[in-house]
Structures are given as C-alpha cells and as structure tokens.
Amino acid sequence: MSISSEGRGTRSLMSHWAMLAPMSRAAIMVAALAFSATQGEAASATAGASAVRVDMKAPQPQGQRPGLRCFAPSSQTRAAASGDAVEADTPGDGTRLFAAAKPFALVFTTRAPQPDTLNWQIRDTWNGVRASGSFRVAAGAISSTLSCTSTVAGYFAVSASLEGARGQLESRGTRPGGIATFGVLPDIAAALPAVRYPYQDLHRFGGQGTAYLAPGQHCCDGDGYRPVYTALGLAWANDNRNWYMEEPDKSGTFDPATKQLTPYLQRGDIMRLIQLDGIPKWASPTAGQTHSYAPTSLAQMKEYMAKVGTESNRVRSTYFPTQRDNYYQVTWEPDADGGLPWRDSDANFIAMYKAVWEGIHQTDPHAVVMGLTYSSVQGNVKWMRRLGPLGIGRYMDGMTVHGYYDIGTTPSHPPERVADTRNEGTVPGALAASMRALRHEMRQYLKPGAPLFVTETGISYDIGQSYGKSYPSADVLYAQAAVVARTHLILLGEGADMTYVFYLADMPDAAPGYGLFFELEHPKGAYGPTHISPKPAALAVAAMTRIVDGTNTLGPLKGLPKGIYAYAFRRLGGGKVVTALWTHDNDKWSSRTGFNAGQSVEYRLRVDAPGTSGDVTALDMMGNASAIPYRDGVASLTLSPAPVYVVSNNAEVFNDAVTTPEGYVARDRAEPTPQAASGQARPATRTIAR
C-alpha cells in the first residue's frame, strides 16, 4: 500500500488547533455517598472469556484478588457549569497510561438537574467487565474522584450514565461516544528481567507521530515524544537532514560544526533514523524541490552528504555514546503510484545512491546507508530484483522498507489473510512469504549481517469506514490491537532487526484509524495533538516492546498446523526464549461476521527436553503473566487470535525447531561498521561466525 508521506511523523506536521481549557473546580465538599463496585478476576492467557465479578463494597487491603479496583469517591467538588451531562477522565501525565499496582484517579463529572445516581463500568480489551459501581451525586456540576489501582495490565474503557437523567459519555475527537479510555502498563520483570544492551542500537522498536502532552506545550514547540514514546517502549524516531530542508536556497549553507541537535533528542534515549530523501529546487532538473529526480550535480550532493556525515558522527559520540552506528535512509516510498514517485532512470537512481553513500562514508566511520524504502515489502522485493543486478547493493549498507502488505492493512486484511488461496490472495502475497523473498534478495546483493529496518507499518480501520459517534466498536478495537501485534511480530520473526509502529494518534491524512491513541479534540484527528487516550493497540504495543525488545530472532517454528503462527526470539546475552504464538482463520475473521475473539485452538509447544516437567510463564497480549505447566518437555496451550508469549529457559530445544531467516545474523554478533575510503564500495557489515 502506498500512502503519501505528507503528514507522517514530524516531516510535515499540520498546524495545531487550540487546546481544551482545563476545567476549573472549587473546593466544595459534599456529603459522603454510598458506593459499591464489582471486581473482575485477573486476565487469563486464554482470551475472550468474560471476567468473573466479585462484590467489593468496602476496601479489602489484605488478601484481595489481583485485578482492577476503584474505591468510593475520595473527593467531590464543584465543577464548571457548562459541559456534558456526564464526563469521565483519568488525569495524569497526558498519556492516560499508568503503572501497574500504583494508584490513579478516575474522575467523573456530572451535571444532573436533580440528585441522581451515577452507574459506571470498566471493560477490558475483550469487552469483559473488570469493575463497576454506582454512587449518588448532588444536583448541579459535580466532579467525583475515585481512587483506583490495577494489577491487571491492559486497555480499559470506562462507561457511565445517570440513572435518572440518562446521559452517557459523549464522543471526543476520534474517540466514539460511550467510553473514556485509559491503560495500565505491564510489569514483566518477574518473567523477563531487564536485559543488558551491549549497543543502544540493538533496540527493536521505533515509531512515527508526536503528541505534545506537557502543560503549556502545543504542536510543535516542545517534546512530542515524551512521555508517550518511553511509556510505549519506542526507542527510535525520524530525524531530518534532508538536503531540501537544510539547504533550500543555495549550496554551502549547512554548517556541520554549528548545526544543533534538536533538544528533545539530546537526552539520548530516543535514537535517530536520519532522513535524506529529496533535493532542493536549486539542484533540481525541474527547478522545483523534488523526490522524483536525481540532482543536476551529484558532486554537490556528495559534498552536502559529507557534511551530514561529519555532523552525525559528532552527534553520535556526544549524545549517543553507546550507539554503535548511525543509520541513514536515502529514499522514502519512491513508488510510481505513490506520493513521492521516482520518475528518473534506474541509472540515475543508482548514481544518486552512490553520491549519498560516498559522501556520508567520507566523514562518518559509523555510517549505515540504507534504502530502498518502497511502501510495501513486495515493492522492495520487486525493485531489488530490478536494481540489484545493476549494482545498487554496492551503495547500500542495509535495507529499509515499509511493511505494508495488502490493499489496505486493516483488521479485515490481516497479514496472514492472503496466505489462504481460498480468500482473495495467494501464498506469495502473504507478509511472511514477502519477507522471505526480501531476505533472499538481500542475501543476493547485500553482505551478511546487513541490517533490515522496517521504518513504517500501520493498521488502519477497515476500508470505507470513518470516525464517528458509534465507530469504532469494541470488536474493531480488539481486532486492530491483535493485528498490530501480529504484523510486527511477523516482521521481526521473519528477520527484520527493527520495526516502526505507525501512527501515534489518529490523524486527518490517509485512511482513518491508524493511531495507537484516539485524538480527543478534532473529529477527524490532528497532527501533534495535546489530548489523547489509548486504544487497545497502544497497550498491545507496550506489552510487545517489553517482551520482544532486547532479543535476537530465532525464526518461525517448523511444522506448524494450518492456522497456527509461532515465532521464537532469544534474549540478548544467551538469555531466555520468548515464543509468540496465535491462531488465525480467514473464514472466522471478518468485520461482517465479527472478529472472533473467542476462537481457540489447542497447540502443544516443546519448551524443554523430553522427560522434564515444570512450569513456563505465558504472557497475554497485554503482558499479564500466568504459569503454564509442562510435562515431558511439552506445554499445552490454548491459542486465540491475540498473541500469547511463552517464556522458557531451554534454548537448545529450539535449535532444530525453527527456520533461521535467510542471511540473518544476530546484530549483537556483528562487528562495528568499518570506516570506508572515499569512493570505494565496501561490505555492508562484517560478521562473526555464529
């Protein structure tokens, strides 16, 4: 799928609209009110079952079951007179994400014409009730604050209504009516202690999109990445050194000695993928800024790239001392039918890559120059087959691609769909098959160990849908979360070293719904928002990054039954094995019939040697842990469309059970990029025998 690059990430942010004014409150206490709540049991590894409810009329600090608990309103104050009949929010740092087992506030604001009762519920990703309750409210504008805590991680949707006045939660921006959402981040330390990264650039997840959540910030004058990227576990973002941006009017205006790194990247915890696509109007054969043609002077392009290499080398050593290499992306979706189409010749495309490669390597001894970055995996396969024999691999140290795989990557078009020849596709079109074809081309034309970065992949809502008061439903949000996780697990499991999730919050460009978060101010979304709330996909990503980051790929499991998917990863430093598993059936997965969260398939996974017994840990899509017994080295699992992650200790049993992606070399076993002499091609990366 080709989507215009306009509006993606911070490349072309639209202007920001006014922030919502904070609601004023007077400190007027009202009488204590009756309260009751019900509590659901902790999530199990098997998705889809409704939560068991437990009466919770009073606090039970000792021996209570793990779960989500909200206690009687700790305060009630006067609120602003104007507003909806019922509102709900979870104030905090703006992400509406909270740490497990830590208290947070759930604030209900009511504007009842007479004394009334507020009834509320909290449901999870699978639409199971996790907590509910009711309490009396006085007439007028009242804010009631409940103190909550949750030992269950995941996405939660609050609903509320007045018993007499009836009103419910209204829609906010792209968030449908009837709900307000928040998330609880997983704590997986007991199953997977923090890993040691020998190099910072071994982190495997990045993202596109920004949100300006700190008080007083707005797009785009602050830090759009924190706290949301660090909460989600995203360690990469794009940084622009495009020629047309840095030298828009004439040559020689970019000074690598004085160019300052953007302050929000100077903290060094979010790394840079350096964007180089596009040429300025003065260097263009069309007399206009373009991505479609090589410049009139490749020598000037090479000169500019040498300056970028000088600056990048300084930035890396200053702000990213544990990052081994700098990574450069030369082109951005040059698809003929895309937003930035290449119209020039193949020879000039390769000549442009040569100029970039030689200029960067002239001054940056840690450079990794990457391309081709077509919009789909299959598109990159097609063009490597065409350009590889012409020699482009001599000027590529690694591969960047966008990971789209279908005409619309949506809940109804999951990455496994076209693997079934009975359902609108063929086996070569499936994401896994496309990735295998891509790795084959990489092995033909790039050196072993060349990194493969997937620098954009997102899952939108279904084709033809739009934001609305009643859309998306809980079913659609569940399906989107499952497909987001499965897509990125396939990309990594088939040999990608790093993958970007797209997009942070709902935006007005392209298909609706790509955001991991709802945008709460504008009905069609906005770039650089200041008010967001999570979808299930955000919490699925937060769990996936915590579980899979800090691993090397072992590969897909062999001999899987039809409809079962499984990929094994091993923690850095020879650590534990994480196996991600799920099931998918095209015939039971459709927006028309419902995305079947209750589908289940039994599967026996070998986790240890024959004759052994014990327990392994299973983590659900939201990162909640449960113990799974195994006998004779085999654990019996119940798989659903939502991925489950099994953590085991005996890596030897996976030696012959997986297929290593073609040409894949664990990046912590690859030597640093050697300095290249100006104008001389060199191997992309030297490798140490595994």
In a domain, 555, yes or no: no
Distance CA 384, CA 386 (A): 5
DSSP alpha helix (H) spans, 143-227: none
The CATH number of whichever domain residue 110 belongs to comes to 2.60.40.2550
Distance CA 229, CA 223 (A): 11
Report strand pairing: 594-595 vs 180-185. unpaired
The CATH number of whichever domain residue 379 belongs to comes to 3.20.20.80
428 pLDDT above the threshold of 90: no
> 599 is in which domain, residue-wise?
564-659
In a domain, 255, yes or no: yes
Type and span of the H or E element at 603? strand 601-606
Structure confidence by residue, pLDDT tens digits, 213-247: 999 998 888 999 999 999 999 999 999 999 999 99
Residue pair 305/356 in contact (Cβ under 8 Å)? The answer is yes
Q: What is the pLDDT of residue 16?
A: 24
Q: What is the pLDDT of residue 597?
A: 76
- My answer on whether 181 and 316 are in the same domain is no
Type and span of the H or E element at 320? none
Residue pair 111/83 in contact (Cβ under 8 Å)? The answer is yes
In a domain, 409, yes or no: yes
- My answer on whether 387 and 293 are in the same domain is yes
25 pLDDT above the threshold of 70: no
Closest CA to 106 of 79, 87, 125: 87
Structure confidence by residue, pLDDT tens digits, 123-170: 999 999 999 999 999 999 999 999 999 999 999 999 999 999 988 999
Per-residue pLDDT averaged across 488-515, rounded? 96
- My answer on whether 254 and 178 are in the same domain is no
The CATH number of whichever domain residue 601 belongs to comes to 2.60.40
Q: Hunting for tokens 């094995």 — which residue is that?
A: 577
- My answer on whether 525 and 640 are in the same domain is no
Distance CA 218, CA 526 (A): 12
Distance CA 196, CA 531 (A): 34
- My answer on whether 160 and 225 are in the same domain is no
Instruction: pLDDT band for 489, please (50, 70, 90 cuts).
Output: very high
Final residue before a domain boundary, out of 185, 217, 240: 185
What is the number of domains present in the chain? 3
Type and span of the H or E element at 386? helix 377-387
Q: Hunting for tokens 């590889």 — which residue is that?
A: 388
For 658, phi then psi, to 5°, come to: -125, 160
In a domain, 686, yes or no: no
Final residue before a domain boundary, out of 547, 582, 599: 547
Q: What six digits make up the tokens of 284?
A: 């263009």
In a domain, 408, yes or no: yes
- Its sign, for the CA torsion 422, 423, 428, 432, is negative
39 pLDDT above the threshold of 60: no
Instruction: pLDDT band for 10, please (50, 70, 90 cuts).
Output: very low
Residue pair 106/80 in contact (Cβ under 8 Å)? The answer is no
- Its sign, for the CA torsion 423, 428, 434, 435, is positive
Q: What is the pLDDT of residue 38?
A: 32
- My answer on whether 71 and 98 are in the same domain is yes
Distance CA 131, CA 55 (A): 10
Structure confidence by residue, pLDDT tens digits, 324-356: 999 999 999 999 999 999 999 999 999 999 999
- My answer on whether 348 and 452 are in the same domain is yes
Helices and strands (H, E) in the chain, number of each type? 8, 31
Closest CA to 276 of 296, 305, 254, 253: 305
268 φψ region: left (φ > 0), alpha (ψ -120 to 50), beta (else): left
- My answer on whether 532 and 568 are in the same domain is no
- My answer on whether 473 and 602 are in the same domain is no
663 φψ region: left (φ > 0), alpha (ψ -120 to 50), beta (else): left
Type and span of the H or E element at 275? strand 271-275
Final residue before a domain boundary, out of 185, 217, 235: 185
Query: Residue 659: CA atoms inside 13 Å, Cβ hemisphere, count?
Result: 12
Q: What six digits make up the tokens of 600?
A: 């289940």
Between 483 and 510, where is the model more confident?
Answer: 483
Strand partners, 154: 184
- My answer on whether 336 and 465 are in the same domain is yes
- My answer on whether 604 and 539 are in the same domain is no
Structure confidence by residue, pLDDT tens digits, 266-276: 999 999 999 99
Q: Hunting for tokens 């929010």 — which residue is that?
A: 89
In a domain, 2, yes or no: no
Distance CA 561, CA 184 (A): 34
Strand partners, 26: 78
- My answer on whether 275 and 351 are in the same domain is yes
Instruction: pLDDT band for 427, please (50, 70, 90 cuts).
Output: low
In a domain, 193, yes or no: no
Q: What angle do CA 208, 209, 214 make, to 5 degrees?
A: 135
In a domain, 22, yes or no: no
Sheet with 53-55, strands from edge to edge, namely: 53-55, 35-40, 129-137, 116-124, 154-162, 180-185, 97-99
Q: What is the pLDDT of residue 419?
A: 62
662 pLDDT above the threshold of 50: yes
Distance CA 413, CA 461 (A): 10
Per-residue pLDDT averaged across 487-496, rounded? 98
| One-letter amino acid of 348 | N
Instruction: pLDDT band for 2, please (50, 70, 90 cuts).
Output: very low
DSSP alpha helix (H) spans, 411-550: 431-445, 474-493, 536-548
What SS3 state is found at 493? helix
Q: What is the pLDDT of residue 298?
A: 98
Spell out the residues 6+ positions from residue 399 whose beta carbon is closer than 8 angstroms to its own: 370, 371, 372, 380, 438, 442, 446, 450, 451, 452, 453
> pTM for the complete prediction?
0.89
Residue pair 74/145 in contact (Cβ under 8 Å)? The answer is yes
